[in-house]
A and B are shown apart, each in its own frame.
Chain A
Amino acid sequence: MLNRLMSATAALALTLSLAPAQAQTMDWDAVVAAAQEEGEVTWFVWYFEDRFREFTKAFTEEYGIEVRIPDGDHIANIDKMIAEAGRETGDIDVLAYGFDQLPNINPELFIALDGLPADEGRVATVAGIEGGAVAVAYWGNQTGIAYDPAKIADEDLPQTPEDFAAFWTSNPGQFGFNYENGGSGPSFYMSVLRAVSDVDFSESDDSAERIAALQGGIDFFNEHADDYVITASNADSITRLSDGEFTMVAAWEDHLAGLQVNGEVRDEIRFYIPEMGMFGGGNAVSIPANAPNANAALVFVDWLTSPEVQSRFNVEFGTAPMNLAADDSAALVSMEMRERQTAWPMRPFRDAVEAHFIDAVILER
């Protein structure tokens, strides 16, 4: 009797412990079946559209669901999603965007992603910004300095604002960064401002006092204005570095890696994160509330954020994987160096710093 009671108790316990997982698996199977019934998913992503069209063929082979990727612009895609939020059925199944844009978007425009199968490795918080129930990261990126090793030795790479100033003075016109059309330059100058000024960049407060406290950093850039070059964009910086015009430029790790894989930038160009730290973050995907193929969108997001796909992203695009179970051995920087990553400043402080830098430094050149 005792044995039968123990067996029954154990069976009940086992049943209870398995129940959620089984239920979830069954639910997920139903989602996949419904997704396959829908047959297609439209992913709005604003970069590498051609390469993603190739890359997502693996998804189509695995699930039989076609992936459509229209060409688009980052903000234009977000604007489109917001503009058509009033429609019962929109055009976007999955929207990609920079994690830093999330605070600007009403989360009610997205569906909750709690229908995804459990995956503890999936990342929903990047650089201090929480995706909550509506956003998960699929793309990890890092800003830093791309350099030409034929012109500067690793041991001479600047690590602090003082080092950069010394490099600028002894190598005028050999360092470039942008202030618009990409975030690598803003990451560089804001990292310097943060290192030089005694201001907490993790606070979102954009009061005039906090902006005024950046004056030391503003003076730093103005004193050396003749020795560095302002470029037109992220791409312009890297192109001119590869072309031999510069020794160092501010850059994105994944951007550089992607261009090198494509053969558009010399393989010799290398990348590092200075000891003063530079900002890193990632891109998120969400599913609009009026997505025409919501089940296919869920299956696609699950596939996109899986360890296998994130490991392939690392190899093919040089991204920092956004699944803890993924392999990141193909990255341009070591895990040790990646510890120098700092979080992007919170908005609206970040916007105020950018506007102030343009007024006080760029327009004064």
Chain B
Amino acid sequence: MTLGRAAYILMLLSPGIGLIVVFIGAVVYIAVAQSFGYYNLIGESGFSWSFWIEGIDRKSYLRAVRYSLYVGLTSAFLSVALAYPLALWLRKPFPGSMTISAILKAPLLVHGIVAAFLFLNVISYHGILNQMMVWLGIFDEPRRLQNDEHAIGLIFLQVWKNMPFALLLLTGAVQAISDDVLNAAQDLGAGAWQRFLTVIAPLTVSAMQASLIIIFIGALADFTFQTTIGPTNERSLAQYMTFMKDRGRWNDAAVVGVTLMALSLAGSVLLAVVSRLAFRGRRK
């Protein structure tokens, strides 16, 4: 390829790549530089390791990393795990399947903060759930369900919001598997679970990877759900970053922000590699 040809191709790609490089690249650059002491909005700017050294040594930082990873990974795996059976169920059209599919995907249209407050109304002390449980006699009196310390409510909401996205990707992927392939597996004696592990999962691994990665990144960086219905004895990385920023500690906030980006990248690569390795062997 001549230099002119390469420049021509680069020029054609520049509207897309250029946006990524300029907008995302600039933000990443500033965040990284800020974590090393540059772009200090208040006070002196200059290179320093101190923000990283002090930052990663803080108890709040380590807890936030651990908690965000828990939320990100649990939400991603549960969403995909729930989406698979639904995608398989909806693989072949049947009367009402379009309606069911539309209802299942409805949470995609509900904004996160709206969903969080709706959920809060349902589980609050005098909310619908408590009233129903008391009325049924299951609870003697209303129970405090919001902001539970194990983040069960938060994970539930993450899955409710993200499962439809996984369903959207996986439905297309499972529909692309021909009946012949599945029938052949059945003829060879494969049960339902074995057909899933050896045929369906390997053939839909790309959609699975995309679902896992995109849901993981979103849940890892969650702020809205955490500050509304999340446990009050834990803080997500996004929440912790905001805590720092609100106190004018931009460099410390940048350390958390860069950590968030690094974990998103590392976690995505890990999920992609693990899912590929887990099913590659079965595909042979």
Residues in chain A within 8 A of chain B (CB atoms): 75, 82, 104, 106, 173, 178-181, 229-233, 240, 243-245, 351, 355, 358-359, 362-363, 365
Q: List 28 A-B contacts (CB under 8 A).
A: A82-B41, A173-B144, A180-B227, A180-B235, A181-B227, A230-B147, A230-B233, A231-B232, A232-B147, A232-B227, A232-B228, A243-B124, A243-B125, A243-B126, A244-B125, A245-B125, A245-B126, A245-B142, A351-B247, A358-B60, A358-B235, A359-B59, A362-B232, A362-B233, A363-B59, A363-B60, A363-B234, A365-B232
Q: How far is the CA of A240 from the CA of B124 in the complex (A)?
A: 9
Q: How far is the CA of A251 from the CA of B227 in the complex (A)?
A: 18
List, in ascending order, chain B residues with CB within 8 A of A358's CB. 60, 235
Q: Is the interface of B mostly helix, strand, loop or mixed?
A: loop
Q: A104-B42, A104-B248, A245-B125 are in contact. Are A359 and B232 (CB under 8 A)?
A: no
**Of A75, A173, A230, the contact of B232 (CB 8 Å cutoff):** A230
Q: A104-B42, A106-B42 are in contact. Are A245 and B60 (CB under 8 A)?
A: no
A357 vs chain B, min Cβ distance (A)? 11
Q: How far is the CA of A178 from the CA of B228 in the complex (A)?
A: 12
List, in ascending order, chain B residues with CB within 8 A of A355's CB. 60
Contact B149 A365 (CB under 8 A): yes
Interface string of B202-230 (1 = CB under 8 A from A): 00000000000000000000000001110
A231-B147, A355-B60, A365-B149 known; 12 new pairs, CB 8 Å cut-off, are A104-B247, A104-B248, A180-B227, A180-B239, A181-B227, A232-B147, A243-B124, A245-B124, A245-B142, A245-B144, A363-B59, A363-B60
B143 vs chain A, min Cβ distance (A)? 10
List, in ascending order, chain A residues with CB within 8 A of B245's CB. 75
Q: How large is the interface on B (under 10, 10 to 19, 20 to 34, 35 or more residues)?
A: 20 to 34
Q: How far is the CA of A243 from the CA of B41 in the complex (A)?
A: 42
B62 vs chain A, min Cβ distance (A)? 10
List, in ascending order, chain B residues with CB within 8 A of A179's CB. 232
* Interchain Cβ contacts within 8 Å, total number: 58
Instruction: Name the interface residues of B31-88: CB closer than 8 Å to any CB of A.
Output: 41-42, 58-60, 63
B141 vs chain A, min Cβ distance (A)? 11
B112 vs chain A, min Cβ distance (A)? 15
Chain B minimum-CB-distance residue to A104: B248
List, in ascending order, chain A residues with CB within 8 A of B227's CB. 180-181, 232-233
Chain B minimum-CB-distance residue to A359: B59
List, in ascending order, chain B residues with CB within 8 A of A180's CB. 227, 235, 239, 243
Q: How far is the CA of A244 from the CA of B228 in the complex (A)?
A: 19
In the complex, whether B246 has a CB less than 8 A from a CB of chain A is yes
Chain B minimum-CB-distance residue to A365: B233
B70 vs chain A, min Cβ distance (A)? 15
Q: How far is the CA of A82 from the CA of B229 in the complex (A)?
A: 32
Q: How far is the CA of A107 from the CA of B227 in the complex (A)?
A: 32
List, in ascending order, chain A residues with CB within 8 A of B243's CB. 180
List, in ascending order, chain B residues with CB within 8 A of A75's CB. 245-246
A147 vs chain B, min Cβ distance (A)? 17
Chain B minimum-CB-distance residue to A354: B247
Chain B minimum-CB-distance residue to A231: B232
**Of A178, A181, A229, A244, the contact of B144 (CB 8 Å cutoff):** A229
Chain A minimum-CB-distance residue to B146: A232
Q: How far is the CA of A243 from the CA of B232 in the complex (A)?
A: 20
Chain B minimum-CB-distance residue to A358: B60
Chain A minimum-CB-distance residue to B228: A232
B14 vs chain A, min Cβ distance (A)? 28
Chain A minimum-CB-distance residue to B142: A245
